[in-house]
Amino acid sequence: MENKPFNDTFLKACRKEAVPYIPVWYMRQAGRYQKEYRDIRKKYSFFEINENPEVCAKVTRLPVEQLGVDAAILFADIMTPIKASGIEVEIVEGKGPVIANPIRSMTDLSRFGDLHPERDLPYIAETIRLLREQLSVPLIGFAGAPFTLASYLIEGGPSKDYHKTKGFMYAQPDVWQALMDKLADIMITYLRSQIEAGAQAVQVFDSWVGAVGADDYEQYIAPTMEKIFSEIKKTGVPSIYFGSGTAHLLKIWNQLPADVLSVDWRISIDEVRALGVDKALQGNLDPSMLLAPWEMLFTRVKAILDQGKKQPGYIFNLGHGIFPEVDGNVLKKLTEWVHDYTKSN
Ligand code: CP3
């Protein structure tokens, strides 16, 4: 479809190599802020898009074509492999994933089957193969991290405080560990299958793990993340670890075998590096700034870039996802501005 030379700037930044300009992509770059996406959603449910490779590839490509970003991210949800492993999940508009029968005991764990990607979600590999023929930027595969997945499975849906999730972790540590192991196995299998099909980097979304203190993270979560990232490392494909509100966890994250850490606006890039973090970094514009006047937005972005580009291994992104009220024209202008500014400075 596109016949441009392959743009590997994003992959170079993941590997901390020299780049001609700072690469850009946006979390949730495919979604309801786009008219084209809203039109497609009128015809198909979320999972119908996900399970139809032609449509799914088109939705994945849209932001690359519209915004000029340096990477595509597979269109799917963190709950896609959970649904394919036999747990009933619904995506409720304006709310997120909802589980009618939450996981609360060891017996509930038997509701998970093993994940056989070619049998249970063949459409994912098929979408990836299509995209590799069509794209001239790298394709990022992804999965949810066990804590964040467990939060939906245990709470039954989105939560503000994760009391049930953390209560489960403290009160039933054996079941918690069994759940972490099960989810890690499924996600490793899932990520490996994406990489085999052609994903050129993977991001692990641990959106809500910032709710956990550092000591608890180390005890209840870090061993699972160590296992996931060391398995990905064996494939040679770069991995990104994302969370929000995770400033207190970054020193621990720096010890994990992930290649890139994605940080949010609650900590600056300079402050992250001052902690001794020596991995490549991704982030960290507050997505709310996309509603600010242009002068304010680009002043803020310039400050982020001036910090980011001090060292090789920096990718410009938001600190969390785009939301429906964002204007795509602002994102397009911002992408061009970041490219131009970092080419000449
Ligand atoms: O463009 C991309 O980033 C790729 C697609 C993508 C989606 N979800 C599509 C989606 C990715 C990477 C995700 C990951 C995801 N899903 C995360 C981690 C990233 C983050 O934002 O923290 C989380 C926590 C989820 C769970 C989830 N799924 C939420 C919170 C929502 C939004 C609820 C809402 O309506 O605001 C979903 C649904 C969802 N996933 C939508 C999209 C485009 C919107 C719903 C729709 O189209 O009906």
Render pLDDT for 220-270 as a digit per residue (tens, 0 to 9). 999 999 999 999 999 999 999 999 999 999 999 999 999 999 999 999 999
Q: What percent of the chain is modeled with pLDDT above 90?
A: 97
The residues, any chain, with a CB within 8 Å of residue 254's CB and separated by 6 or more, are 261, 275, 276, 277, 278, 279
Q: Specify the pTM.
A: 0.97
Pick the CATH number of 9-344 from 3.40.50.300, 2.60.120.260, 3.40.50.460, 3.20.20.210: 3.20.20.210
Determine if ligand 1 sits within 6 Å of the CB of residue 204: no
Q: What is the mean pLDDT of each run of 10 residues along the chain (345 residues)?
A: 83 98 98 98 97 98 98 98 96 93 94 95 98 98 98 97 98 97 98 98 98 98 98 98 98 98 98 98 98 97 98 98 98 98 91
Q: Catalytic residue numbers?
A: 28, 32, 41, 77, 152
Q: Nearest residue CA, atom 3 of ligand 1?
A: 28
Task: Identify the CA nearest to 208 among candidates 134, 288, 154.
Answer: 154
Cis omega before residue 329 (within 30°)?
A: no
Q: Nearest residue CA, atom 17 of ligand 1?
A: 78
What is the number of other CB atoms lying within 10 angstroms of the CB of residue 234?
9
Atom of ligand 1 nearest to the CA of 148: 24
What is the distance of C-alpha 271 from the center of its chain? 22
Atom of ligand 1 nearest to the CA of 28: 3
Structure tokens at 260: 């890139």
Sketch the domain layout of the chain as residue ranges.
Answer: 9-344
Note whether 98 and 92 are within 8 A (CB).
yes
Q: Give the pLDDT score at 344.
A: 85
Q: Give the pLDDT score at 3.
A: 65
Q: Determine the Cα–Cα distance for residues 83 and 2; give it in Å rounded to an integer.
A: 33
Q: Alpha carbon of 328 to those of 39, 61, 153, 237, 282: distances in Å?
A: 15, 14, 33, 30, 21
Question: Which of 77, 124, 162 is the best mutation target for the ligand 1 pocket, counting ligand atoms within 8 Å of the beta carbon and taking the most?
Answer: 77
